[in-house]
A = this chain, B = another copy of it.
Amino acid sequence: MQLGMIGLGRMGANMVRRLMKDGHECVVYNRSPAPVKAMEGEGAIGASDLDDFIAKLETPRVVWLMVPAAVVDQNIEALVDKLDEGDIIIDGGNSYYKDDIARAKRLQPKGIHYMDVGTSGGVWGLERGYCLMIGGEDASVAHLDSVFKSLAPGVGDVARSRGLAGESSQAEQGYLHCGSVGAGHFVKMVHNGIEYGLMAAYAEGLNILKHANVGKVSQEVDAETSPLRNPEDFQYDLNLADITEVWRRGSVVA
């Protein structure tokens, strides 16, 4: 199907590429013109300004925003009078979910449908696909099903979870309609919180491994510092690259 993308940064550009690979038609716009030219070279339909962008989209229009959270509202502001009843705006960035709720409420009187899609995948997304956490009305989500399917990783070679049977669910294909508007970014927000917790756990652990040779360092005596007890127990020069490599095979922190 056809989709308009505003914002051709690392995420937006790769999502357009992945969509075109699956046969979707992409109209693209970006604040600065260079990325638009670049994507035209790869098969996208470039837009020179917002009016051009709107004109090139068939109704009901699908406008996907992939811009910093701080400028989503001004982008919507610029779009709203150019859009028609039935059009869909998707915020694929990292907006706070309460902003989603407020936007949907503002856009509803105009008949514009607002959706939020938390998008995880980073630099590997183009190749492997994006994990999509979706909030919005049932009809809008259904309308965009083929787009979500193309962006998502698909079932892949991940071992099936115990208890699942029959045809693979949306979730198993890598996208999920989590709930009403805001639910996608709510789930993504928690996802990111978990991510930072994971990084903290690895960082703390690796830091201990890195200093497992602290007993080799001689220590000054003063009244404020407790002497290291049993320095003979801290004599390991550990190779962190090897350790994290071995953990990739069979360990529970892989």
Chain A residues close to B by CB (< 8 Å): 9, 68-71, 94, 96-98, 101, 120-122, 124-125, 128-133, 152-158, 161, 164, 169-176, 178-180, 182-183, 186-187, 190-191, 193-198, 200-202, 204-206, 208-209, 212, 219, 221-223, 225-227, 229-230, 232-233, 235-239, 242-243, 245-254
Distance A97 CA – B132 CA, assembled complex (angstroms)? 36
Report whether A226 and B69 are in contact in the complex, using a CB–CB cutoff of 8 Å. yes
CB within 8 Å for A156 and B249 given contacts A183-B238, A190-B209, A236-B179: yes
Residues in B with CB closer than 8 Å to A182 are 233, 236
Distance A68 CA – B129 CA, assembled complex (angstroms)? 44
Q: List 28 A-B contacts (CB under 8 A).
A: A70-B226, A71-B221, A94-B226, A120-B252, A121-B250, A124-B250, A131-B247, A131-B254, A133-B243, A158-B249, A164-B245, A171-B245, A174-B246, A174-B250, A176-B242, A182-B233, A182-B236, A183-B212, A186-B209, A187-B238, A187-B243, A190-B205, A190-B209, A191-B251, A194-B204, A197-B198, A197-B205, A198-B198
